[in-house]
A and B are shown apart, each in its own frame.
Chain A
């Protein structure tokens, strides 16, 4: 299936872009997506997805078994305050 991915902050730096469409296996989980992104973008992206989270349908998700939605935001670890 085709998913739309948006990258923020360090994730955008690691990907060299703010968004893109990716083809990913139907029924893929966040664990699958992490592996795809690490293979695609290397060590900085690995640090991002291993310590960060994903926003799907307005909710922050960290569970690797959670299903990937049609739109996923890649969020590095939060550093507000």
Chain B
């Protein structure tokens, strides 16, 4: 297919994620399908009510996120973009935006699933939940 790896784009910021910019980063005239996944802060976890989430990232997390996006772009031959937010997020805020475009929807959906799973496994980002009543807990620990 392509002998060149398509572009990939990655950013970690404490500013609100611009989903339009993430989407535009993967669009091209050859795109018949654009999949944009939004990871959103929800108000419950494991049966507990969640009030807010605090995300922290390692100083090298953006480089590792970029590496992750570049790997998935190389493996799939598709353009890839991802943004992760850090800091204190409220219910409904977007924590992760991950986008893929492809000629057809199936490969775009599959690549986006691979991308999100890879980000969760390989990028050093942590989150602490503030539960109803004021208790806090680190997720995944």
Contact = CB atoms under 8 A, between A and B. Distances in A.
Interface of A: 8-10, 13, 47-48, 51, 55, 58, 60, 73, 75-81
A81 to B, nearest CB: 5
Interface in B63-105: 63-64, 84, 95-96
Contact of B125 (A47, A58, A60, A78): A78
Contact of A8 (B56, B116, B140, B141): B56
Contact of B58 (A10, A47, A55): A55
B6 interface: no
Interface of B: 39, 55-56, 58, 60, 63-64, 84, 95-96, 116, 119-128, 138-141
B119 A80 contact: yes
A23 to B, nearest CB: 25
Q: Chain B contact residues: over half helix, strand or loop, or mixed?
A: mixed
A60 B126 contact: no
B119 A10 contact: no
A80 B96 contact: yes
B138 A79 contact: yes
B77 to A, nearest CB: 24
12 contacts: A8-B124, A8-B126, A9-B56, A9-B128, A55-B124, A73-B58, A78-B123, A78-B126, A79-B139, A79-B140, A80-B125, A81-B116
Contacts of B124: 8, 55, 60, 75, 78
A78 B121 contact: yes
Contact of A80 (B63, B84, B138, B141): B84
Nearest 8 Cβ contacts at the A-B interface: A80-B125, A9-B126, A10-B138, A79-B140, A79-B139, A77-B140, A81-B39, A81-B120
